[in-house]
């Protein structure tokens, strides 16, 4: 026979349930942060250790098994940031950037690990970590690069391995005889910037340096919109141009900006290859004709001019040019066939000149002169003429075009449309 529980028994069972719940909750939420069996442990920095301005990595370990939902970083009891796991579920790296406002302070820090099963555990607390000043000046920015846009604007980018930068300075000068002036001040987190509304008839030179409380870095190497290289003690040749002259000859012209060179060297490179000297010229030279020794028709080459003084050298911009024969080879073996059922004339021909970009198809009748009926891409050697009438006699011819020159005409072919 059922007998209801008395009041004392009810209270006992309620207390037991609450104690079990509290015990389970505490086990789920955290471990003893000072226990050697703690699931997550910080090994660096250590108690009474140091961290410097800039980026500092926090080294930690997490006992297996684990399934990271995320980690949290706390400094002096204040939440700093949330760190998700790597995309493959592995341990993420944890770092913190400290600026000069932390100098002389002692920090306490810990991590909290959150598992995908809903549990969380706190790491050991690292205490009394002193933040010290990195008294070294910043490292020199490197890999300065320039990207040109079509509207008179460019992007200047760089890299830096310094621990911490408060700001960057971009310095600029205009033309070889210009003076470097501070052009932009940028955040210490910047790694590129734009310069706009440039005069495309001028040459712009750039260099970058970093700054923090310990001082300025050295300037980076220079970069410029013309691609020339100069130390400043010897002015490089500029405005290098190239054009094909005659059969496989290349005529080079440039401006001599220096008055202290001993001689000029002409250098040539096949596409992507090493520059090799092909000529040495006396001082004050401004032109050179490459007679084509060692070049291949249809190939592309780079040229540059190097000025040499007693103690220095300076390099012009590079210029690219495709070697041609001087004249375009005409198409050959032009043939025509008429299909009366479809009412179309089919033209076929051969071409051996890779410099040709387009073919011009010309046609005439017995009562008219040749007229251009279509310009087609040079990747084709076939053309179908549907714009014909029956019971007429048509004559066709074609020629090549490379945007600056025309080849001679092919042979002519005549076809009746009966």
Q: What is the pLDDT of residues 105-152, one digit of tens each?
A: 999 999 999 999 999 999 999 999 999 887 888 999 999 999 888 778
Statement to judge: residues 302 and 360 lie in one domain:
no
The lowest-confidence range among 60-74, 235-249, 250-264 is 235-249
Contact 73, 138 (CB under 8 A): no
Statement to judge: residues 146 and 96 lie in one domain:
no
Statement to judge: residues 338 and 359 lie in one domain:
yes
Is 85 among the domain residues?
yes
Give pLDDT, residue 30.
44
Q: Which residue has the tokens 């349930």?
A: 17
pLDDT, average across residues 321-337: 85
Q: By percentage, how much of the chain surpasses pLDDT 70?
A: 90
Is 8 among the domain residues?
no
CA-to-CA distance for 129 and 131, rounded, in angstroms?
Answer: 7
Give pLDDT, residue 230.
80
CATH of residue 359: 2.60.40.10
Q: What is the pLDDT of residues 165-201, one digit of tens each?
A: 989 999 999 998 899 999 999 999 999 999 999 998 8
Q: Is 310 exposed, middle or buried (0-12, 13-18, 19+ CB in 10 A)?
A: exposed
Statement to judge: residues 71 and 111 lie in one domain:
yes
Is 232 among the domain residues?
no
Check whether 28 has a pLDDT greater than 50.
Answer: no
**Domain ends where: 132, 157, 178?**
132
Residue 76: which domain range? 40-132
Is 16 among the domain residues?
no
> In sequence order, what are the beta bridge partners of 416?
393
Give pLDDT, residue 20.
42
CA-to-CA distance for 216 and 271, rounded, in angstroms?
Answer: 40
Statement to judge: residues 309 and 352 lie in one domain:
no
Annotate 287-300 with b (16+ C-beta within 10 A) or e (fewer): ebebebeebeeeee
Give pLDDT, residue 252.
94
Check whether 2 has a pLDDT greater than 60.
Answer: no
Is 21 among the domain residues?
no
pLDDT, average across residues 89-111: 90
Q: What's the predicted TM-score (pTM) here?
A: 0.53
Question: Tokens in use for 61?
Answer: 């370990």
Give pLDDT, residue 85.
93
Check whether 283 has a pLDDT greater than 50.
Answer: yes
Three-state SS sequence of the chain: CCCCCCHHHHHHHHHHHHHHHHHHHHHHHCCCCCCCCCCEEEEECCCCCEEECEEEEEEEEECCCCCEEEEEEEECCEEEEEECCCCCCCCCCEEEEECHHHCCCEEEEEEEEEECCCCEEECCCEEEEEEECCCCCCCCCEEEEEEECCCCCEEEEEECCCCCCCEEEEEEEECCCCCCEEEEEEECCCCEEEECCCCCCCCEEEEEEEEECCEECCCCCCEECCCCECCCCCCCCEEEEEEEECCCEEEEEEECCCCCCCEEEEEEEECCCCCEEEEEEECCCCEEEECCCCCCCCCEEEEEEEEECCCCEEECCCEEEECCCCCCCCCEEEEEEEECCCCEEEEEEECCCCCCCEEEEEEEECCCCCEEEEEEECCCCEEEECCCCCCCEEEEEEEEECCCCECCCCCCEEEECC
**Domain ends where: 281, 299, 322?**
322
Give pLDDT, residue 162.
85
Give pLDDT, residue 10.
54
Statement to judge: residues 191 and 247 lie in one domain:
no
Split into its structural domains, the chain has a count of 4
Is 297 among the domain residues?
yes
Check whether 385 has a pLDDT greater than 80.
Answer: yes
Check whether 323 has a pLDDT greater than 70.
Answer: yes
pLDDT, average across residues 386-410: 92
Statement to judge: residues 58 and 116 lie in one domain:
yes
**Domain ends where: 77, 98, 132?**
132
Statement to judge: residues 166 and 247 lie in one domain:
no
Give pLDDT, residue 75.
94
Over the chain, what is the mean pLDDT? 87
Annotate 193-219 with b (16+ C-beta within 10 A) or e (fewer): bebeebeeeebbbbbbbbbbebeebeb
Give pLDDT, residue 240.
93
Statement to judge: residues 364 and 313 lie in one domain:
no
Statement to judge: residues 57 and 106 lie in one domain:
yes
Check whether 208 has a pLDDT greater than 90.
Answer: yes
Contact 276, 269 (CB under 8 A): yes
Is 3 among the domain residues?
no
Statement to judge: residues 220 and 286 lie in one domain:
no
Contact 316, 237 (CB under 8 A): yes
Statement to judge: residues 127 and 152 lie in one domain:
no
Comparing CA positions, the residue from 272, 267, 279, 277 lying closest to residue 299 is: 272
- Split at pLDDT 50, 70, 90, the class of 33 is very low
Check whether 221 has a pLDDT greater than 50.
Answer: yes
- Split at pLDDT 50, 70, 90, the class of 29 is very low
Is 22 among the domain residues?
no
């Amino acid at each position: 026979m059922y007998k209801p529980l008395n009041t004392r028994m009810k209270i006992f069972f309620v207390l037991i349930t609450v104690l079990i719940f509290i015990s389970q909750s505490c086990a789920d939420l955290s471990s003893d942060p000072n226990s050697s069996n703690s699931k997550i442990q910080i090994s660096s920095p250590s108690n009474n250790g140091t961290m410097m301005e800039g980026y500092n990595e926090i080294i930690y370990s997490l006992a297996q098994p684990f399934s990271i939902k995320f980690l949290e970083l706390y400094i002096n009891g204040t939440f700093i940031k949330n760190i998700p796991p790597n995309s493959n579920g592995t341990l993420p790296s944890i770092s913190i950037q400290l600026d000069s406002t932390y100098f002389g302070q002692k920090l306490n820090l810990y991590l909290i690990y959150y598992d995908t099963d809903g549990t969380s555990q706190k790491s050991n607390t690292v205490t009394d970590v002193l933040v010290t000043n990195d008294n070294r000046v910043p490292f020199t920015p490197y890999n300065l690069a320039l990207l040109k846009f079509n509207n008179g604007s460019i992007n200047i980018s760089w890299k830096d391995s310094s621990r911490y930068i408060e700001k960057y300075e971009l310095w600029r000068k205009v033309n070889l005889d210009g003076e470097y002036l501070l052009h932009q001040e940028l955040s210490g987190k910047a790694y590129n910037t734009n310069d706009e509304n440039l005069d495309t008839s001028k040459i712009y030179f750039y260099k970058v340096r970093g700054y923090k409380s310990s001082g300025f870095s050295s300037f980076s190497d220079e970069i410029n919109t013309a691609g020339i290289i100069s130390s400043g003690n010897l002015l490089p040749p500029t405005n290098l141009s190239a054009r094909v002259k005659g059969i496989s000859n290349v005529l080079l012209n440039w401006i001599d900006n220096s008055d202290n060179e001993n001689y000029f060297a002409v250098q040539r490179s096949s596409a992507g290859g090493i520059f090799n000297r092909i000529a040495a010229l006396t001082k004050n030279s401004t032109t050179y004709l490459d007679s084509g020794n060692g070049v291949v028709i249809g190939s592309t080459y780079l040229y540059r001019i190097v000025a040499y003084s007693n103690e220095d050298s300076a390099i012009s911009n590079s210029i690219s040019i495709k070697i041609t024969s001087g004249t375009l080879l005409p198409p050959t073996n032009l043939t025509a066939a008429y299909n009366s059922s479809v009412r179309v004339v089919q033209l076929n021909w051969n071409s051996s000149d890779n410099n040709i970009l387009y073919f011009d198809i010309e046609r005439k009748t017995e009562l008219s002169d040749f007229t251009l009926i279509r310009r087609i891409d040079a990747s084709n050697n076939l053309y179908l003429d549907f714009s014909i009438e029956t019971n007429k006699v048509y004559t066709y011819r074609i020629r090549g075009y490379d945007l600056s020159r025309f080849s001679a005409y092919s042979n002519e072919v005549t076809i009746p449309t009966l």
